[in-house]
Amino acid sequence: MHLPLTLALLPLAARAVNVISANDDGWAEKNIRTFYDSLTTAGHSVVISSPAENQSGKGSLDAEPKELTEPCEFDSCPEGSPPVGNNATQPRWNYVNSYPVTSIKHGIQNLSTTFFNGAPDLAVTGPNVGANLGVVTAISGTVGAACYAAHDAGIPAIAFSGGSGSATAWDDPTPAYATLYAQLATKVVNAVVAAGTPYLPKDVFLNVNFPKVDDGKCASADDFKFVLSRIYTAVPLVSGEDVETCSNDKRLPTETKVTGGDGCYVSISVGKATNKRDADAAAQGEVLTKLGDFLTCLPN
pLDDT on residue 2 = 35
Measure the CA–CA gap between 250 and 14, rounded to whole angstroms.
38
pLDDT on residue 7 = 37
Residue ranges of domains in the chain = 18-296
* Nearest by Cα to 131 from 256, 276, 257, 229: 256
Where are the strands (E) in the chain, listed by range? 18-22, 45-51, 84-86, 93-96, 122-129, 157-162, 204-210, 225-229, 265-272, 295-296
Amino acid symbol at 225: K
pLDDT on residue 139 = 98
pLDDT on residue 8 = 41
Measure the CA–CA gap between 57 and 25, rounded to whole angstroms.
9
Report pLDDT digits (tens) over 126-171.
999 999 999 999 999 999 999 999 999 999 999 999 999 999 999 9
pLDDT on residue 14 = 45
Measure the CA–CA gap between 282 and 245, rounded to whole angstroms.
13
Which H or E run contains 288?
A: helix 281-291
pLDDT on residue 175 = 96
Q: Is the pTM of this model over 0.75?
A: yes
Q: Which residues contact 9 (CB under 8 A, 6 or more apart)?
A: 41, 42, 43, 186, 190
pLDDT on residue 293 = 95
pLDDT on residue 12 = 43
* Nearest by Cα to 18 from 146, 90, 86, 118: 118
Label residue 292 left, alpha or beta by phi (over 0 means left) and psi (-120 to 50 means alpha).
Answer: left
Pick the CATH number of 18-296 from 3.40.1210.10, 3.40.5.50, 1.10.150.120, 3.60.9.10: 3.40.1210.10
Report pLDDT digits (tens) over 14-29.
489 999 999 999 999 9
pLDDT < 50 stretches in the chain: 1-14
Measure the CA–CA gap between 249 and 227, rounded to whole angstroms.
13
